[in-house]
Chains A and B, each alone.
Chain A
Amino acid sequence: MKRIAARTVYTVVVLVLSSIAVFYAIRLSGGDALAARLPASATSEQREAFRELIGLNDAIYIQYFDYVGRLLSGDLGNSLTNNASISTMLVDHGRNSLILGAAAFALVFAIGVPLGILAAVRRNSWTDGGIMSFSVAAMAVPNFWLALLSVWVFASTLRWLPSAGCCSPRQLILPAVVLAMEGIALTVRMTRSAMLENLNQDFVRTLRAGGLSEVRIVGKHVFRNALVPIISLAGLRIGQIVGYALVVETIFGWPGLGQVLVNAVLRRDYPVAQFFSLVLVTVVVLSNWLADIGYTVANPRLRRV
């Protein structure tokens, strides 16, 4: 409990610090672009007045608190590109990202863990070799290439699945699978190594001496012990998925937060870039915090003591 409380405090501190960092970084180059929005004919006095008006001449920390204040009161601002309300964007795109992310996350564990267990239990067999080769290949093939390939195969050639767009289940399949691929590969390897390490532990021998069946020993005891590192890294999978979602959403035209952020950076839409950077950073930090809690919960040695 104490440990969880400590980590929570740490996480909050981190959140504040990173929001400052993000804010600062974007304002560095963002500020002048705002001024660039003025017509070229504007004189330097007019530019200066404009800067003063929107507060760009204030000290950076004043700008920061001002910004945070506005956020907290619900005023998220508008996009520079099309003047859309950022809060609407947050809701719509956020929901899409959530769907895609959840689907990918589910795939990572639904496929990764069983394959890893299988590889461990059938160690050194063809099954094991096959699964491990698959995991190496899945990591080596860049996801954008995989995306192209899968679109080419499944959409253009076979015409089984649509190539882009949102938001039907059929349109979800390809992006979710591509997004999950690397996580699956990593999870397979981690599960396999965690299982193997626990299969060699002394307590397995004690359980065998107790007359328990191999199936029960491996399926319940070894697996539950292997789960400790798997759960602890599950939170990181979320972060990884967020990272890759930036690319996958863009390729498949899935209108989520990642796509929004990438477009905003490319088009120098600073309010949008700033806000959604904060959002994604918050998601990652929170998921790391969850991972920490998960680790504490999964490992009894860290509880109570």
Chain B
Amino acid sequence: MAEAVSQREAARSDGAEPVLSMRGLRTSVSMRDGSVDVVRGVSLDLYPDEVLCLVGESGCGKTITALSIMRLLPTPPVRIREGQVLFNGRDLLGLSDREMRRVRSEEISMIFQDPLTSLDPVFSIGHVMAEVIRAHRDVDRSIAHEMSIEILDDVGIPDPHRRIDSYPHELSGGMRQRVMIGLALVLDPQILVADEPTTALDVTVQAQILEKLLEEQRERHMSMLLITHDLAVVASVADRVAVMYAGEIVEEAPVDELFEDPKHPYTQGLLRALPHASVKRDALIPIAGRVPPPQMMPPGCFFAPRCPDAIQRCWDDHPEHIDRDGRTYRCINSQPFHRR
């Protein structure tokens, strides 16, 4: 593990190639009257040893994007129509099932939102963990057992020798999520995808889990793609942020710049809507309107109906990314950001 870790460390300081690169991902869902795209041409790069947060409200397609990386989509009715997911030079979408299985957990891992339903209730956590280990490494049961205990200890589960034989329902929500993290990290993957890992947890536990995730990321020099709808989470863990709306990335920037100088009106709206401790205000300012259903997207910019800065052209042309100063955003009429 030490070797892999130092390799990743080196890669990061080189300012090197992205470790994961999504290009033009298009994913559709078939519904009663036909199929509709819910991910529309997403391109995203994940660099070594960084935390990239993918933010957006429910239904914007961020979870499906994440599942697409690992090819964990429920395949009818969801389908990847177009695009590439490049990992270490190979397109994951073109791999055979067997090759993809080898990648999962060993090179790229994922943790999910609800740890209770996400663990098999009829087997002990140690059993499942050993099973996953032995699916990838040729080791006997006792070694797998040792590895499991070690990782459980690593993620902060007290008394792992006994807990390893517990069933999921015997553990608290926070512990279950730690088990999930342990399961994801036991084979020391290069990338961890975390889909709303704290949303289903109590507030006090959320902070602990986030801290543990960050700790693991730093120690292993992993790349982490963290999906969330909570900007507070973004502020505390992200290195870079990608904002998603209606199936598209609308803005991408390093975290500090995003919070200080958001370019896209949607991002600005999100930040304005945050209760902000240092600014006294009379009322909370939500973003007007709702996300339109995927079949009813406006012809131009998807955000136009809710945008306070929309002009005529916003309704006619769908905006492409504007690349400037190491940031990108999809807006032709970007205005400076004022908190009020």
A residues apposed to B, CB below 8 Å? 201-203, 205-214, 216, 221, 224-225, 228, 298-301, 304-305
Contacts and interface: CB of A to CB of B under 8 A. Distances in A.
Contacts of A228: 122
16 contacts: A202-B112, A202-B118, A206-B119, A206-B183, A207-B120, A207-B132, A208-B104, A209-B184, A211-B102, A211-B135, A214-B97, A216-B131, A221-B122, A228-B122, A301-B167, A304-B170
A209 B110 contact: yes
B122 A212 contact: no
A206 to B, nearest CB: 5
B136 A211 contact: yes
Interface in B97-140: 97, 101-106, 109-110, 112, 114, 117-123, 128, 131-132, 135-136
Q: Which of B70, B72, B106, B118 has the most CB of A within 10 A?
A: B118
Contacts of A211: 101-106, 132, 135-136
Interface centre among B105, B109, B121, B184 (most CB of A within 10 A): B121
Given A206-B119, A211-B102, A301 B70 contact: no
Contacts of B184: 209
B161 to A, nearest CB: 18
A201 B168 CA distance: 15
A201 to B, nearest CB: 7
B169 interface: yes
B243 interface: no
Given A202-B112, A203-B118, A205-B118, 11 more contacts: A202-B114, A206-B112, A206-B119, A208-B72, A209-B70, A209-B104, A211-B101, A212-B132, A221-B120, A300-B122, A300-B169
B117 A203 contact: yes
B135 A301 contact: no
B184 to A, nearest CB: 8
Contacts of A210: 104-105, 128, 131-132, 135, 183
A305 B170 CA distance: 8
A225 B132 contact: no
B131 A212 contact: yes
B155 interface: no
Contacts of B132: 207, 210-212
A205 B106 CA distance: 16
B180 interface: yes
Interface in B12-32: none
Nearest to A217: B120
Nearest to B73: A205
Contact of B120 (A203, A298, A304, A305): A203
Nearest to B116: A202
B183 A202 contact: no
Contacts of A201: 117
Contact of A207 (B121, B128, B170): B128
A224 B122 CA distance: 7
Given A211-B105, A301-B167, A202 B70 contact: no
Interface centre among B103, B123, B184 (most CB of A within 10 A): B123
